[in-house]
Amino acid sequence: MGNAFVIGLGKSGVAAARLLNREGWQVTVSDRGTSATLQQQQQELGTEGILVKLGHSFAPTTSSEADLVVVSPGVPWDIPGLIQARALGIPTIGETELAWQHLQTIPWVGITGTNGKTTTTMLIAAIFQAAGFYAPAFGNIGYAACEVLLAARQPDWAIAELSSYQIESSPSIAPQIAVWTTFTPDHLSRHKTLENYANLKAYLLRQAKYQVFNGDDPYLHQLGKSGNAPIRPDACWTSVQGKAALLGDPDLGVYIEDGWVRTTKELILPTNLLKMPGAHNRQNLLMAVAVARLAGIEKNAIAEAMAAFSGVPHRLEQILTWQGIDFINDSKATNYDAAEVGLAAVSNPAILIAGGEAKVGDDTRWLQTIHTQTVAVLLIGSAAPAFAQRLDQIGYAAYEIVETMERAVQRSTELAPRLGAKVVLLSPACASFDQYPNFEQRGEHFRQLCLSLL
């Protein structure tokens, strides 16, 4: 053992620090922040013998300063300190890679993609649990990978939702089964080009023993037709459009036909067992079923899991019905594509609450869906003026800049009965960081405001 530096004092950084400390490393955690929450964590970790440096930027000058550097997922891989560490030959890995190095004796399911990761991950975890496995879901989903290692019980399977950030810093990760849910432009401020972003997703699939692809995603469908890497001949493809739409070997695929999720050999479960709305969620179900079948799980466990599965918090989550109007939390829709899918999935006419910290992306389909599905749009956050300008450009005038979530919910209660809206939908199409620490707290704020209507 030796000196280990952990960069970033989020949930992943804390878990990595505790794991390394348990193994006998001298651990220092570095974080540029100085908030009261971080100071509290600093004191707590200090009692465990872990040194925390706040207001600090890691900048090694010699290779003897650290024997290992572990990076939290939210820390860019190309900050100067990490570039310098790698140039000095200091082993530098992500928190997920650290977990992989300790947990690679058990099989992993790795789920990646632009949208659909969390729902697919939770569906897979629910099925494995119904089949009697201890298979915790972690990674980009809220639980750090190293937290699994700190628990007393060894998992039977590891169900890992993996963002491009986590794949980027995990060179040796090789799941038993890898899933690629969707692919659209996102995180380009970090990855610079679409090609870089796609290559990270492809890397995970290339490393896996078994591959599952969403055959209804335009990018993945085109990639499949081209036969380019990382797709192998034995890949499993899924489609909500029936057997005829499957790519690859139909006998390896999972699809929907006549209201059933099925393979060419058997019916697995009726689609109406899935309670969540939208074709995208049926596709998420297909990918989860494909993983379960590759893992040898029987269809009765799959049906049992789906009958009990109520959905994912902050993803088309129904909060309440007020005066016949459904209030739905889709705070996890942090880009245009996710927001377009969410808006298309709910009943119309709808009132949409959108805005936050804008991302780079193509808003064309999102704007078209606003035109056809909504009777009003309430704009919050720093993106509100730019969104208003885009709505003006497409001739959509039924918007208001309300700035805050409080005003948005209040205004929606005035407009919805008058305009005959069936749904008030929070689906921001934006990151949350202008007004909230994360999308979860944004969704929780929306939830509390809605519940106060009762």
Interior/surface letters 266-297, b for 16+ CB within 10 angstroms, e for the rest: eebbebebbebbbebbbbbbbbbbbbbbbbeb
Extended beta strands in 35-98, E state: 51-54, 68-71, 92-94
Residue 361 has pLDDT above 90, yes or no: no
CB-based contact 435:406 (threshold 8 Å): no
pLDDT in tens, 109-138: 999 998 889 899 999 999 999 999 999 999
Domain(s) of CATH 3.40.1190.10: residues in the chain: 97-308
Task: Check if the beta carbon of residue 58 is closer than 8 Å to that of residue 26.
Answer: no
Domain with CATH 3.40.50.720 in the chain: 3-90
Band (pLDDT 50/70/90 cuts) for residue 192 is low
The pLDDT value given to residue 1: 84
State residue 190's pLDDT score. 46
Indicate if the pLDDT at residue 188 is higher than 80.
Answer: no
Comparing 11 with 20, which gets the higher pLDDT? 20
**Binning pLDDT at 50, 70 and 90, where does residue 193 land?**
low
DSSP E strands, 183-275: 210-214, 236-239, 254-257, 260-262, 267-270
Q: Which CATH class is domain 3-90?
A: alpha beta
Q: Taking residues 87-103, what's their average pLDDT?
A: 97
Average pLDDT, the chain: 93
Dump pLDDT digits (tens) for 367-385: 999 999 999 999 999 999 9
Please name the helix (run of DSSP H) or strand (run of DSSP E) that holds residue 368, with its range, or none: helix 364-373
pLDDT of residue 185: 58
**Sheet containing 68-71: which strands, arranged edge to edge?**
51-54, 26-31, 3-7, 68-71, 92-94
pLDDT at residue 25 tops 60: yes
Q: Which CATH architecture has domain 317-451?
A: Alpha-Beta Complex (3.90)
Q: Residue 191's pLDDT band (boundaries 50, 70, 90)?
A: very low
User: Given this model, what pLDDT does residue 310 score?
Assistant: 77
Superfamily of segment(s) 97-308: Mur-like, catalytic domain (3.40.1190.10)
Segments of the chain assigned to CATH 3.90.190.20:
317-451
DSSP letter for each residue of 144-198: -HHHHHHSSSPPSSEEEE--HHHHHT-TT---SEEEE-------HHHH-SHHHHH
Count of positions (residues) in the chain: 454
Mean pLDDT for the stretch of residues 88-103: 97
Supply 28's token pair: 């220092």
